[in-house]
Chains A and B, each alone.
Chain A
Amino acid sequence: GAVVSQHPSRVICKSGTSVKIECRSLDFQATTMFWYRQFPKQSLMLMATSNEGSKATYEQGVEKDKFLINHASLTLSTLTVTSAHPEDSSFYICSARLLVGGYTFGSGTRLTVV
Chain B
Amino acid sequence: GQQLNQSPQSMFIQEGEDVSMNCTSSSIFNTWLWYKQDPGEGPVLLIALYKAGELTSNGRLTAQFGITRKDSFLNISASIPSDVGIYFCAGRGSSNTGKLIFGQGTTLQVKP
Extra inter-chain contacts (14) besides given A102-B48, A108-B40, A110-B40, CB under 8 Å = A32-B98, A34-B98, A41-B107, A43-B102, A43-B103, A44-B43, A44-B102, A46-B101, A102-B33, A102-B45, A104-B45, A105-B42, A107-B42, A108-B41
Binary contact track A90-113/B, C-beta < 8 Å → 1, others 0: 010101010001111111101000
The reply to whether A93 and B97 form a contact with Cβ atoms under 8 Å apart is no
The size of the chain A interface, using a CB distance under 8 A, is: 25
* A101 and B50 contact, Cβ closer than 8 Å, known pairs A44-B102, A106-B42: yes
Binary contact track B69-98/A, C-beta < 8 Å → 1, others 0: 000000000000000000010000000011
Query: Cβ of A101: which chain B residues have Cβ within 8 Å of it?
Result: 31, 48, 50
Q: Is A73 an interface residue (CB 8 A)?
A: no
The reply to whether A57 and B97 form a contact with Cβ atoms under 8 Å apart is yes
Interface members, chain A 54-79 (any B CB < 8 Å): 57
Q: Is A6 an interface residue (CB 8 A)?
A: yes
From residue B9, how far is it (CB to closest CB) to chain A in Å? 10
The reply to whether A6 and B97 form a contact with Cβ atoms under 8 Å apart is no
The reply to whether B45 and A107 form a contact with Cβ atoms under 8 Å apart is no
The reply to whether B43 and A105 form a contact with Cβ atoms under 8 Å apart is yes
Interface members, chain A 1-54 (any B CB < 8 Å): 6, 9, 32, 34, 41-46, 49
The reply to whether B98 and A97 form a contact with Cβ atoms under 8 Å apart is yes
Q: Which residues of A contact B (CB under 8 A)?
A: 6, 9, 32, 34, 41-46, 49, 57, 91, 93, 95, 97, 101-108, 110
The reply to whether A46 and B100 form a contact with Cβ atoms under 8 Å apart is yes
Q: Is B44 an interface residue (CB 8 A)?
A: yes
A46 partner, pick from B33, B44, B50, B99, beta carbons under 8 A: B99
| Residue of A whose beta carbon sits closest to that of B100 | A103
Q: Is B105 an interface residue (CB 8 A)?
A: yes
The reply to whether A44 and B45 form a contact with Cβ atoms under 8 Å apart is no
CA distance A93 to B98 in the complex (A): 16
From residue A91, how far is it (CB to closest CB) to chain B in Å? 8
Query: Cβ of B103: which chain A residues have Cβ within 8 Å of it?
Result: 43
